[in-house]
Amino acid sequence: MRILITGGAGFLGSHLTEKLLNSGNEVLVVDNFFTGNKQNLIHLLSNPNLEVMRHDVTFPLYVEVNQIYNLACPASPVHYQYDPVQTTKTSVHGAINMLGLAKRTRARILQASTSEVYGDPEVHPQPESYWGRVNPIGIRSCYDEGKRCAETLFFDYYRQHQTDIKVVRIFNTYGPRMRLNDGRVIPAFMGQALRGEDLTIFGDGSQTRSFCYVDDEVEGIYRLLLSDYAYPVNIGNPNEISIKDFAEEIIKLTGTTQKVIYKDLPVNDPMQRQPNISLAKKLLNWEPKVGRAEGMKITYDYFKSLSEDELYKSEHKDFKKHIKN
C-alpha cells in the first residue's frame, strides 16, 4: 500500500508514519516544516519505504497513492494564531487539494479534524451528533472554523463525487515528540517544572481537559481509516481532569518545588472538553489503553532527555520565512 501523510513530520504525523512503516507500507510524508521537524523522522530515514517531500498543501500535489491521511495544520494556538490567514488556507485549500488528489487517484482519504469543531460546548461529554458552539470571528476561529469547513468539503466530495472519506475528531493528545514550547498545557507545565519556573494556570483552573496518549490516538485513527464508516468519529480519552488538579499531578510527577500561579483566561478558551467515545468502541472496537499516570511518565522522561538549549529555547524556530501572502 502506498500511503500519503500530510503533516507527517509533526508530533502526531511522525507516530502515524512509524506505525504505517512498521505495518509494511510505503509512506510518502509531505510537510512544509512550519511546525513539523525532521528530527521527528530521523530514526526512520534509513527505511527504504519512506519518502519525505517538502511541500505546502495549500498548493496542488500530483502523486500516485492508495490512501491519504490529511494531518497538515498547526494545532497549537501559539502557532495557528501566528498567521491566521495561512492557518485557514491550510485547512480549506489543503482539504480541496487533497480531496482533488483522492478523487483523481480513487484513494481513500482521512481528514484529521478536531474536538475544536465543538468549540466551547454546552453538551458534555461531546458526541459526534453535537453541532458545536464556535465563535466564527474570534482569534481561535482560523483553526476551529477552518477545520469545520474542511469537514464540509469532505462531505460535499462524498455526496457529489462519491469520494471514499473518513473523518476523525481528535481530542487532546500527548506523548514524546510534542513541541516543548507550543503553549499547550502538558508541555507548558513540564517545561516550567524542568526549568524551575512556577506553573502557570490561565483562569481559575476549573476548566477541564481529557488527555489521550499518542499510541492510543494513532491506533484509533488507523482503525478508522480501515473501517467502512464515512461519518465523523471521536478518538480521545474520556478520563477528564481539571487543569488545577492536573497541575498538582505534574508537581507530584516532576518533584518540582515551584508554586502554581494564575493568569487571565485566553479569549474563547473552552471550559470543558471530554469525548463521548461510544461510537469508536462500537464501530472500531477501540478504547484507550494507556492511563494518564503511565503516559505522563513516558512524556516527562522524553522532555527530560532534551538538551539544555532545547529546554530554554522560547521558540523552536523562526516562522517568518514560512509566511505566505
Q: Could you tell me which residues are beta bridge partners of residue 165?
A: 109
**Average pLDDT of span 101-125:** 97
Position 74 scores a pLDDT of: 87
Grid cell 499516570 is found at 293
Q: Is the pLDDT of residue 212 over 70?
A: yes
Position 183 scores a pLDDT of: 81
Position 315 scores a pLDDT of: 59
180 pLDDT band (50/70/90 cuts)? confident
Angle formed by the axes of helices 84-105 and 141-161, nearest 10° = 20
Instruction: Please give the mean pLDDT across all residues of the chain.
Output: 93
Position 87 scores a pLDDT of: 93
pLDDT digits (tens, 9 = 90+) for 195-209: 999 999 999 999 999
Q: Which helix (H) or strand (E) holds 215?
A: helix 214-226
Position 201 scores a pLDDT of: 95
Q: Which of 143, 157, 174, 300 is catalytic?
A: 143
Domains of the chain are 2-178+212-238+274-290 (3.40.50.720)
- Which amino acid does the sequence have at 37? N
**Average pLDDT of span 256-284:** 92
State how far the Cα of 76 lies from the Cα of 85, in Å rounded to an integer: 15
Q: Which helix (H) or strand (E) holds 29?
A: strand 26-31
Position 322 scores a pLDDT of: 43
φ, ψ at 175 (rounded to 5°): 150, -175
Q: Is the pLDDT of residue 324 over 50?
A: no
Q: Is the pLDDT of residue 121 over 90?
A: yes
pLDDT digits (tens, 9 = 90+) for 2-52: 999 999 999 999 999 999 999 999 999 999 999 999 999 999 999 999 999
State how far the Cα of 236 lies from the Cα of 210, in Å rounded to an integer: 7
pLDDT digits (tens, 9 = 90+) for 301-315: 999 999 888 888 765
**Average pLDDT of span 316-322:** 45
Position 316 scores a pLDDT of: 43
Q: Could you tell me which residues are beta bridge partners of residue 208?
A: 242
Position 148 scores a pLDDT of: 98
pLDDT digits (tens, 9 = 90+) for 78-110: 888 889 999 999 999 999 999 999 999 999 999
Is residue 300 flagged as an active site residue? no
